A and B are shown apart, each in its own frame.
Chain A
Amino acid sequence: MKQHNLHGSVLAVLFLAFFVMPEYHDGVFARIMVLAVYAVGYNLLFGYTGLLSLGHALFFATGMYGLALPMQHLDMGPVPAFLTGLAAAAMMSLAVGFLALRTTGVAFMIVTLMFAQAGFLTILYFGEYTRGDEGFVIQQADRMIAGLDFSDPTTRYFAAFCIFAAAFLFIAWLMRTSFGKCLVAIRENEDRARMLGYDVQLHKLLSITLSGVISGASGAAYAFLFGYAGATFASVQYSILPLLWVLLGGAGTTIGPLIGTAFAFYLVDFSSEITDAHLLVVGAAIVLLTLFAPQGLAGELRRRLFAWLP
């Protein structure tokens, strides 16, 4: 019950925040919510299943280009293009999972990293269509669904809110099912889970696929709402970012991804105001958090105050 209240409250705050916050922060929060979806997807694999991937930018970018390329080159409408993005991310993560899950631990990290690099280079190689690093803009005229203009800040905020709410509630639900609990069991003690009769490989494969689809949804929504797709989003940096957000917010918690993403955004925002060396501030904050809240912000709250925190 507490969990339902918490999830309801988080969403209510995000919904109402739009009417209270200054316009600038509405824009920032639209971006945070879309990217928090990416962190939610990453958290499913890393926080709940215990698999550290360094190649999630591949899934994010697959969703992004899965939407943007058909819209750009085939004049596909946004809704089918979004579904294409999801389907592409699903296939990509299924294929990568099928191969990468033959490895474990450090090898899994390296293999996922290599796949993502291959994806990044592929995007550059097909620069004729993808425009490579430069990327391309999705015209405002194309960013319309049923008469609604998704480049408008209000529409964009609530579109971001809806997609975040969907991912957030999906994970909250999933982790209460026996499938979700088995993922946690695999994270905690893989051999024991297997010897209780669970098909560990299959659960991992489904986890990486779901994680890839959610990450891809974030990428597709990002391209659509902010009107841009570029190869930067497939680079290593974008594989590290969700890891960072989840670590900051609290791996294996439902609200951690949102907290971590928002925290990281505002940390950069705040520190760029006071110094050019804003990455120094970010680095110091990460070091402090690692020292004093190794389980992330939500993880630390759970440890100290609210043991029931999901």
Chain B
Amino acid sequence: MTLLSTQGLTKSFGGLHAVRNVDFNLPEGQIRALIGPNGAGKSTFVGTVIGRLRASSGDVLFDGRSISHLPAHRRIGLGIAYTFQITSVFERLSVHENVALGVRRSGGSDTETEPRVRQALSRTGLLDRADSHAGDLSYGHQRLLEIAMGLGQNPRLFIMDEPTQGLSESEIAEFKSLIRSLAGDTTILLIEHNMNVVMETADIVTVLNFGEVLAEGSPAEIRADRLVQDAYFGTVSGA
């Protein structure tokens, strides 16, 4: 079943088509990576999906319903979690409260939400830092906290905008195993620059270039695709 799809999704800034006529289908339970060179429109695309940006035209459907008219918070209320490309946490609040804010939104008493908060913290390895201020965490841990905030919401669709940016090699390894452990429970849309992460975690890869879908397929297919190599890896055809 398709959980998220877009039909003819377009976002223009003045004369620039950052996202152009994108048809996109993401089946439930899949881990999908969205890749493309800088400026390909990846963040703009998810921005219009999540409602931070208003699409110029086209439609976004979640679970079969059009959500194009909904403001961002309502879309998130339907079961979409989103992590920011540039780390955005509540720096002066505790790590625990950061996650609890996400868990609590869907309601329930403290006794009901507490196990979910602890679970999200332990899955991301932040449990022993629960009482620290989020702003005191290292950059890598703040990235993990963003993911914990998303996990706490029990999302049906989890959109992560470059989650491994700035992580160390060992943290990236932990991130990959975390993503694999989520497989099957949650549908994941991953914007990612680290090809290693993409190849090891994604079921299907979608490549954007100049705001359009350039190719779509399994990691192996994408790696072999000549057009993708041209656009993304910078190799020249026939060279």
Contact = CB atoms under 8 A, between A and B. Distances in A.
A194 B93 contact: no
Contact of B88 (A181, A189, A197, A199): A189
B94 to A, nearest CB: 11
Given A181-B104, A185-B93, A197-B105, A191 B73 contact: no
B73 A181 contact: no
A192 B88 CA distance: 6
Interface stretch (B36-44, B76-84, B176-184, B228-236): B76-84
Contacts of A178: 104-105, 107
Contacts of B213: none
B101 A182 contact: yes
A192 B89 contact: yes
Contacts of A87: none
A282 interface: no
A191 B51 CA distance: 12
B153 A197 contact: yes
A238 interface: no
B90 A188 contact: yes
Nearest to A196: B102
Nearest to A195: B82
Contacts of A293: none
Interface in A180-210: 181-182, 184-185, 188-189, 191-200
Interface string A206-233: 0000000000000000000000000000
Among A188, A196, A200, find the residue whose CB has the most chain B CB atoms closer than 10 A. Answer: A196
B200 interface: no
B73 A192 contact: no
Given A182-B101, A188-B93, A196 B88 contact: no
Contacts of B72: 194-195
A296 B68 CA distance: 45
Contacts, number: 55
Given A181-B101, A200-B73, A195 B52 contact: yes
Interface in B101-142: 101-102, 104-107
A193 B74 CA distance: 12
B162 interface: no
B88 A191 contact: yes
B101 A196 contact: yes
Contacts of A200: 73
Contacts of B84: 192, 195
Contacts of B202: none
Contacts of A196: 76, 101-102, 105, 149, 153
A200 B77 CA distance: 13
Contacts of A198: 73, 105
A23 to B, nearest CB: 44
Contacts of B77: 197
A206 to B, nearest CB: 15
Contacts of A195: 50, 52, 72-73, 76, 82, 84, 88
Interface in A53-110: none
Contacts of B89: 189, 192
B69 interface: no
Contacts of A197: 73, 76-77, 102, 105-106, 153
A195 B90 CA distance: 12
A212 to B, nearest CB: 24
Contacts of B107: 178
Contacts of B76: 195-197
A194 B73 contact: yes
B133 to A, nearest CB: 10
Contacts of A182: 101, 105
Contact of A188 (B52, B92, B102, B106): B92
Closest 4 CB pairs of A and B: A197-B76, A188-B90, A178-B104, A197-B77
Interface of A: 178, 181-182, 184-185, 188-189, 191-200
11 contacts: A178-B107, A181-B100, A182-B101, A184-B93, A185-B90, A185-B93, A189-B88, A189-B89, A196-B153, A199-B74, A200-B73
